[in-house]
Structure 1
Amino acid sequence: MADLQDDLHPAAEVGRADEPTSPYPAEAVVVAPEEYEPVSDPDDAPLTRARAVLAAHPVADGYSGLPWALRRLPWYDLDLGESAVDADLPRLRKGQVGAVFWSLHLPEGPDGDRAVGATLEQLDLAKAVVAAHPEGLRPARTAGETADARNCGRVAVLFGPAGAAALGDSLSVLRSLYALGLRVLTLTGATWAGPTGLTRFGEEVVREMNRTGMIADLSYASTPTIRRVLTVSKAPVLFSRSGARALRPHPANLPDDLLTEVGRARGLCMVPLTAEQAGPTVRDVAEHLDHIRALAGPDCVGLSGTYDTGSAHPQELADTSCYPRLVAELLRRGWDESEVALLTWGNVQRVLRGAHFTALTAQQRRPPSTATITDLDG
């Protein structure tokens, strides 16, 4: 399956992201925008190598709070640059970001019908921001659309994650949100995905997410919920903001046993670039990436900028323009360029494709679920 097959290595080396032995049909054939030869001169700086790798394999950023940050601004221009945010278009381009997930999480935490309405407002705002910047941003819903946007010189914007409260305990709302473009749902903040794990309705939510193509985000979920979703879900899951708890004892970070399980399930753990979760320096972030790569495998680790969320960021990673510095640190540590390609781009593409093809299969096997929370958990 061709998906950003590059000039860095033969397909056999980077094929882990593309799974050439998969029975799934290719969603898009992507041609890298420029030729690139690996840098072999030992005198060349890792930062130069990092920029060259990112030219072929840009960053797919797993979490951005930009839509919410823009709500408080009376005026902004992401095309020219906006000092009030971390992720305007000049800095996204400088950081060689090719795709970004825009969070629809609600800081004030409404529930019930208010959560549904507030999430729809967030989604409408996010779409309006993309539409107002057509030369720099393009909405995307699939791996193919994400690659197409990147090949056209745009940053692909995927909508989500949103909180589980946005469903209002309704599978019909889940399907409607998916039809409107939402692609990731965080399974926390609902009665059916709590400290004790998934209820029967929660399991039905996961099955219906598989059937529609919605991706489950398990950051901040309880350990019983994580383990049950890994068992129930037929599609790959992701952790939009989770590092290694062995290195930083944060509640959203994952212990080693769960990281191993995530690797077996072919999930994706996206390390947040925040001082609170990863540490105060770029080296601390690299330590998390090293640790997760060792336990879960290079196919199961990604990057989550977590910019424009109000979080403090490590030194040298103040905004989205700084991604080459992180990649340079990884290259200094001996990461293969093929592993960096998976980290920045290939692993997100794999998860998007996996959700899409799981949905195609599930839709042939079962109709839309009409179950309600009263029916199953009543």
Structure 2
Amino acid sequence: MADLQVELITTAEAGELDQPFTEPSAEPAQPAITVPEAASASDPDPLPDPLRHARALLAAHPVADGYSGLPWALRELPWYDLELGESGVDADVPRLRAGGVGAQFWSAHVPENLSGDHALVVTLEQLDRIKHIVDDHPEGLRLARTASEAVDARHCGRIATLIGPARAAAIGDSLATLRALHDLGLCSLTLSGTPWAGPDGLSPFGEEVVRELNRLGVLPNLSEASEATARRVLILSRAPALFVRSGALALRDAPGNLSDGLLTTLGEAKALCLVPLAAEQTGSSIGEVADHLDHVRRLAGPECVGLSGMYDTTATHPEGMADVSRYPHLIAELIERGWPDTELAMLTWGNVQRALRGADFTARATRERQRRQAAAG
């Protein structure tokens, strides 16, 4: 898509790549949102106005869901068909369409007790499983790894599937392994649980990992990382970082939730906090989830907040949000709270697109700079 393509930086700009990532161009024009008129008294099943409004908005700006555990959940099923519908999981193609979902990040995480070669082997199995699942459901799903590929999938009537995050334990202390996982389609890596990304922050090798993520176009995920690691990555990374499942610590004291200070910092860095639909982190009701979205939006800014369904994981979901078809009800709650359509469009689709474009721009610019440096001797 021409409106989503970003030109490589010029020669003069190449020397400025040590500056933090700055959006290279304005947001592309968004499709107009047409809200249906209120239902008439003769309508046999009229929807409340906010829900009608939410469905219309999601038709133009679908949800880019930041975390799905579907690949791991499908391991437990002897047979499934996601295009016809599958009651054994929280997400299938009919319910994704009903929920206005246009893209999902499919987690390649593996159990926390795995490390070393075992973690790598199981991660590779996860990546292979994801590709086979998508290949087996071509009418509903399509693999994507960039903003333009996600938009193309949507325009073809498919739900974009992005691979990641994966645990950093899978790469050990090998940048070559990271490159190999990227070649297999990995889009995001969780920076925690390793000797080089721990409670005290990043080691020198950890900083090399962040630079390589930028060069490859892989988004760093900081949700499980220590605050010291998160703050260092926010300074070091030239592309936007993700917190793929983090709420507000001020509202609920739960692992993975972020302090007000860190939320402010991630807003300054133009990172992206994806608020999870998980009762243990953001509460047991739609209203409590909306409270977290309001809080992150206020401190980090409307361009730095998104949604993470946490479907097909061990998380307990808020009442009324049992599966992916329920997203319109959350959007309707935000509409009733006065969120403007422009900010709702950023929340559901635009902010994830910005992060993907930022990763792609940074990767191409970094490789171009290295090419020019090599050519110069």
1:311 deviates by 1.1
Residue 258 (structure 1) aligned to one of 233, 257, 262? 262
2:23–2:358 CA contact under 8 A, matched in 1: no
1:168 deviates by 2.1
For 2:110, the equivalent position in structure 1 comes to 106
For 1:363, the equivalent position in structure 2 comes to 367
1 CA distance for matches of 2:254 and 2:26? 40
Secondary structure of the residue aligned to 2:3 is: coil
Residue 138 (structure 2) aligned to one of 128, 134, 154? 134
For 1:171, the equivalent position in structure 2 comes to 175
1:30–1:148 CA contact under 8 A, matched in 2: no
For 2:15, the equivalent position in structure 1 comes to none
2 CA distance for matches of 1:221 and 1:243? 14
TM-superposition CA deviations, 1:46-81 (whole Å, max 9, x none): 000000000000000000000000011111111111
CA distance 1:78–1:41, shift in 2 (3 Å):
closer
1 CA distance for matches of 2:92 and 2:54? 21
2:263–2:300 CA contact under 8 A, matched in 1: yes
1:3–1:30 CA contact under 8 A, matched in 2: no
**Does 1:345 find its partner at 2:354?**
no
For 1:335, the equivalent position in structure 2 comes to 339
**Does 1:118 find its partner at 2:122?**
yes
1:2 deviates by 3.4
1:163–1:187 CA contact under 8 A, matched in 2: yes
1:140–1:149 CA contact under 8 A, matched in 2: yes
1:220 deviates by 1.4
CA distance 1:189–1:22, shift in 2 (3 Å):
closer
CA distance 1:133–1:214, shift in 2 (3 Å):
same
1:108 deviates by 4.9
2:34–2:57 CA contact under 8 A, matched in 1: no
2 CA distance for matches of 1:286 and 1:73? 33
Give ranges in structure 2 of 5+ residues lacking alignment: 6-21, 41-47, 372-377
1:176 deviates by 0.9
TM-superposition CA deviations, 1:192-229 (whole Å, max 9, x none): 00011000000010011101111000001101000100
CA distance 1:48–1:38, shift in 2 (3 Å):
closer
How high is the TM-score relative to the length of structure 2?
0.88
Residue 306 (structure 2) aligned to one of 289, 302, 306? 302
1:244–1:288 CA contact under 8 A, matched in 2: yes
Residue 241 (structure 1) aligned to one of 245, 248, 254? 245
Secondary structure of the residue aligned to 1:366 is: helix
CA distance 1:41–1:76, shift in 2 (3 Å):
closer
- Compare 111-120 and 57-66 and name the one that shifted more: 111-120
- Compare 288-297 and 109-118 and name the one that shifted more: 109-118
Equivalent residues in 2 for 1:56-71 (5 A)?
Answer: 56-71=60-75
1:104 deviates by 0.6
Alignment root-mean-square deviation, CA: 2.1
For 1:18, the equivalent position in structure 2 comes to none
1 CA distance for matches of 2:101 and 2:155? 12
1:45 deviates by 1.1
Letter in 2 for 1:292: V
Secondary structure of the residue aligned to 2:186 is: coil
Give ranges in structure 1 of 5+ residues lacking alignment: 5-20, 368-378
1 CA distance for matches of 2:337 and 2:159? 29
